[in-house]
Amino acid sequence: MMRYAEVPWPWAGLTIALVLLAQESLVKLVGDSGSLAMTSWRILMMTIGVTSLALILLPPRRPAYLLGALTCGALMGWALWLQYGLNIDPCPLCSLQRMAVIGIGIVFLVAGIHNPGRLGASIYAGLTVLLGLFGAITAMRHVWIQSLPKGEVPECGMGLNYMIETMPLSDVLSKVFTGSGECAEAGWVFLGLAIPAWTLAFFIAMMAAAIVLIRRD
């Protein structure tokens, strides 16, 4: 009986994500309603692709942590270029996602310097998951606000810095997650996905990589 070699699931996941490129061509032909369902499908496919690619390329533990820190730094550089180069100012939800990216970057940098064993890697993975979940939840809320019809979008509100200076933290988080008009602006779009959709894929990929690194000696 013939036996076939098993295909590592990250390669299968990356193949599935490549289907998204073909899908985009079809969407351009048949039209895109911009519905939340279509956006969610795109996010799912791209998340599988980004996570699979991260796991395929994942080096041993220490260089992986340093590479993760470098990736977070590159993302923040890209965000600053969007802000100051293309004049796309971050909304309050964007600012919270930036904080999560910076937090994960710091965890990866410290882990890379520390070069931990499995126990230490488990602790760093826990910290990464906590920060990643916060960022992912914020990104999902942001994606939902961007999917609202124009008539249902909340009015523009106060800036995040002003709210932090004048309001209790619980009220700040409540106001931010309620959303405001500036959060509904897509701003930068690539492959049909806006910034929060891409950051959602990033957070999931970083959490998956941190967990895998526990056993990546």
Residue 117 is encoded by which pair of tokens?
């064993």
pLDDT digits (tens, 9 = 90+) for 140-188: 888 888 777 666 555 555 555 556 555 565 555 555 555 555 566 667 7
CATH number of the domain enclosing 171: 1.20.1550.10
Q: What does the pLDDT average to over 98-104?
A: 93
Residue 30 counted as domain residue:
no
The total domain count for the chain is 1
The predicted pLDDT at position 111 comes to: 92
Asked if pLDDT for residue 193 goes beyond 60, the answer is yes
Residue 5 counted as domain residue:
no
Helix (H) / strand (E) element for 109: namely: helix 92-114
Q: What is the pTM of this model?
A: 0.73
Residue 83 counted as domain residue:
yes
Residue 106's domain spans which residues?
Answer: 60-215
Q: 3-state SS of the chain: helix, strand, coil percent to 5?
A: 75, 0, 25
